[in-house]
Amino acid sequence: MDTQKFATADLHLIDTDRINDSPGPYGMSFGFELKPLVRSIKTVGLLNVPVLIEDGEGAKTVISGYRRIQAVKSLKWDNMPCRVLQKSEFSPLECLLLNLHENLATRNLNNVEKGMVLSHLNSYLPLNEIMKDYMPLLDLPSNEEKFDLFLKIEKELDENIKIYLARGHISLQGVRMLLDMDPASRLSVFGLISNLKFNINQQIQLINYLIDISHITKASVIELLKDQPLENIRLNDNLNTPQKAKAVLRLLRTRRFPSLTEAEKTFNKMVSKLDLPERVRIDPPLFFESPDYRLEILFKEGKELREKIGRLFKMDGIEEIGNPWERGA
């Protein structure tokens, strides 16, 4: 690439309405906040000029500076200084790389933008070159599975989910799971996620439960989301949004793990029947997998400890504690 040619390209004052409004074939900006840039340009002017490319007939496509152009347009400037390249002198790949390197030098790309970059590169470069040179440049592992995921994000993901992803409100894992669903189910699940503001871990749990239950019951994800108990939670005015999210997950967990949740219920019943001293608790092993149960006694001094141990020692029913499926409630 002839780097000198970029630097020495002519500066022109261009009418803003003659600059193409779309991000164009080199665009890699998504989900950005325009206000700070507008404020900066309003205060100190345009410090770094955009680069455009002109086809033979006068149309100008943005190579770099898309966001600056949007900011200037929102300030209603009639014209703005731009560096203008001639189409005959620069290949599309060179234009793309110019924008890519300029972006990488000044900011971190979000995951949607990385998808845009890879999708553009995919039109010009062989896969092995993208893997070798560009995946690392984008801080991505050089594997084709990841590459495919980012292409899918660019090509198949719905706009609202892209916004969520760009803002870091959903993880790549969550997006991958949504992309494995059919588009209608994906939108329904995303609707629930955004309505009840599930956090990133909860999103993964939710999607996992829904997919699993759908497989087990042969009901579609959309049908599951229309289930009455779930609907009741959504409409329950006594719960706030985080409480609703938790209640949905609890409901789905009970459906996904009937024996485990039953065992937990039975165990809790067993423990609640005991008249445990204050600040004393008995916990089952995680998922009842280890054979060891846990007793926790909080105390301020030895006397209190002795008193609590004494009560535990004499407590009726304590010997019943154990695997709930063996003892029953």
Partner 1 sequence: MKDLKIKKVIVEKGVSGQEFAQQILRRLPDIPVQTIKENESKAVHDIQNMGKEILHLLPYKGEFLKPCPGTREYICCGYQILNVATNCPLDCSYCILQSYFNQPYLKTFVNLEQGVEQVLKIIDSNPDLVFRIGTGEFTDSLAIDPITRWSDWLLPLFSKRKNAVLELKTKTDNIRGLLTSKFRDRIIVSWSLNSPFIAVREEHRAASLKKRLEAARQCQSEGFVVGFHFDPLIPHPKWKEEYTKTLELLDKYIDPKGIIWISLGSLRFMPGLKPIIRRRHPDTCVLDGEFIMGLDGKMRYFKPIRMELYSYMRKNLEKWHPDPGLYLCMESHDVWQKSMGWSPETSNGLKRYLDRRVVEIFG
Binding residue for partner 1 (CB under 8 A) from 289, 296, 316, 319? 289
Binding residue for partner 1 (CB under 8 A) from 258, 294, 310, 320? 258
Task: Identify which range of 31-39, 45-53, 144-152, 267-275 contacts partner 1 by CB under 8 A.
Answer: 144-152
Binding residue for partner 1 (CB under 8 A) from 108, 123, 201, 290? 290
Binding residue for partner 1 (CB under 8 A) from 256, 267, 271, 276? 256
Task: Identify which range of 48-56, 153-161, 256-264, 265-273 contacts partner 1 by CB under 8 A.
Answer: 256-264
Burial status of residue 169 (CB atoms within 10 A of its CB: 0-12, 13-18, 19 or more): middle
**Position 287 contacts partner 1 (CB under 8 A):** yes
Q: What are phi and psi of 207, to 5 degrees?
A: -65, -45
> What amino acid is encoded at 287 in this protein?
F
SS3 13: strand
**Position 215 contacts partner 1 (CB under 8 A):** yes
* Residue 294, both tokens: 């846990």
Binding residue for partner 1 (CB under 8 A) from 14, 210, 211, 270? 211
Binding residue for partner 1 (CB under 8 A) from 184, 216, 295, 298? 216
Binding residue for partner 1 (CB under 8 A) from 145, 275, 296, 319? 145
> H or E element: which one contains 178?
helix 172-179
53 beta partners: 61, 85
Residue 217: CB partners within 8 Å, gap ≥ 6?
Answer: 224
Closest CB 326 distance from partner 1, rounded Å: 8
Instruction: Please say which residue, 141 or 242, places its beta carbon nearer to partner 1.
Output: 141
Task: Identify which range of 160-168, 197-205, 251-259, 306-314 contacts partner 1 by CB under 8 A.
Answer: 251-259
Residue 250: CB partners within 8 Å, gap ≥ 6?
Answer: none
Q: Cα dist. 110→65, 153, 160, 198, 276 in Å?
A: 17, 12, 15, 21, 52
Instruction: Please say which residue, 88 or 259, places its beta carbon nearer to partner 1.
Output: 259
Closest CB 284 distance from partner 1, rounded Å: 11
Burial status of residue 177 (CB atoms within 10 A of its CB: 0-12, 13-18, 19 or more): buried
**Position 218 contacts partner 1 (CB under 8 A):** no
Closest CB 121 distance from partner 1, rounded Å: 17
Binding residue for partner 1 (CB under 8 A) from 49, 239, 263, 318? 263
Binding residue for partner 1 (CB under 8 A) from 14, 53, 100, 177? 177
For the chain, how many helices (H) and strands (E)? Answer: 18, 6
Task: Kindly identify the residues of this chain, within the stretch 31-70, that bind partner 1 according to CB under 8 A.
Answer: none
Burial status of residue 77 (CB atoms within 10 A of its CB: 0-12, 13-18, 19 or more): middle
Q: What's the rounded Cα separation, in Å, for the pair 209 and 138?
A: 32
List the one residue out of 53, 48, 56, 46 whose CA is nearest residue 20: 53
Task: Kindly identify the residues of this chain, within the stretch 146-175, that bind partner 1 according to CB under 8 A.
Answer: 148
Q: Which residues bind to partner 1, rule: CB under 8 A?
A: 143-145, 148, 176-177, 180, 211-212, 215-216, 256-260, 263, 286-291, 323, 325
